[in-house]
Amino acid sequence: MEAEVRTLRLRTGISVPCLVQGDPASPPVLLLHAWGESRGSFDRLLPGLSGFRVHAPDLRGQGGADKPEGGYSLAVQDGTRIPSNAWKQIMSGLVAAPPPTGSGTIRSPALILWGAEDNVLPREDQETLAAHIDGSVLKVYPGVGHLVLWEVPEQVAEDAAAFFRHHSGGPAPEPPP
């Protein structure tokens, strides 16, 4: 699969790198990584998305993206290397931030992944998010913790590809368990 990293300049003046991979004629897919990570978190997922045009930016202040004053200050390659005080600051920001459905309406179908053994974010929050996004699917992975993409990348790739195919006019995905 042909891939390149493009630099996107946002209206705010911030630049973010964005991985673009796949045939330009293929259905587009936008992958957004978790806080404290980067587009590199999708490396194990990308081989399973060969039929799509994937766009995966580093989010503002993370990975290779600009880190403006007053914004995020961490460039994270591996979440396990982050000191506990940094994680506390990240989690404080997560708690203080308005939820996506509280700061605007998400108008695209979303696949929400959650590990049944997640002790960081409660299932009720995922169910609330799914209820506020038309066309969303909450996929729960039994026996998996908070880092779903890291723990079961092959299953995530299979489920994501089915979801994306369904929403690009392909066959419907399997119903979630």
Q: How far apart are CA 32 and CA 49, in angstroms?
A: 15
Instruction: Report the pLDDT value the prediction gives residue 36, as an integer from 0 to 100.
Output: 78
Predicted pLDDT of residue 102: 56
DSSP 126-161: HHHHHHTSTT-EEEEETT--S-HHHH-HHHHHHHHH
Instruction: Mention every residue, 6+ apart, whose C-beta is less than 8 A from residue 124.
Output: none
In the CATH hierarchy, which fold is given to the domain comprising 1-65+89-98? Rossmann fold (3.40.50)
Provide the pLDDT for residue 86.
61
Q: Which residues pair with 136 in a beta bridge?
A: none
The confidence band for 3, taking pLDDT boundaries of 50, 70 and 90, is confident
Q: Which of 44-53, 79-88, 138-147 bottoms out in mean pLDDT, i.e. has the lowest?
A: 79-88
pTM over 0.75: no
Token couple for 53: 């045009």
Q: What is the mean pLDDT of residues 88-92?
A: 63
Q: How many CB atoms lie within 10 A of CB 28?
A: 13
Highest mean pLDDT among 30-39, 73-82, 144-153: 144-153
137 φ/ψ angles, rounded to the nearest 5 degrees = -130, 130
- Looking at residue 72, its pLDDT comes to 45
Q: How does pLDDT run across 134-155, given as a tens digit for each residue?
A: 889 999 999 999 999 989 999 9
Domain spans of the chain?
A: 1-65+89-98, 107-177
CB-CB contact of 30 with 42 (8 Å): no
For residue 76, count other CB atoms closer than 10 A to its CB.
Answer: 23
Among 28-32, 88-92, 127-131, the range scoring the smallest mean pLDDT is: 88-92
- Given this model, what pLDDT does residue 20 score? 94
The mean pLDDT of the chain is: 80
CA dist., res. 83 & res. 76, Å (int)? 11
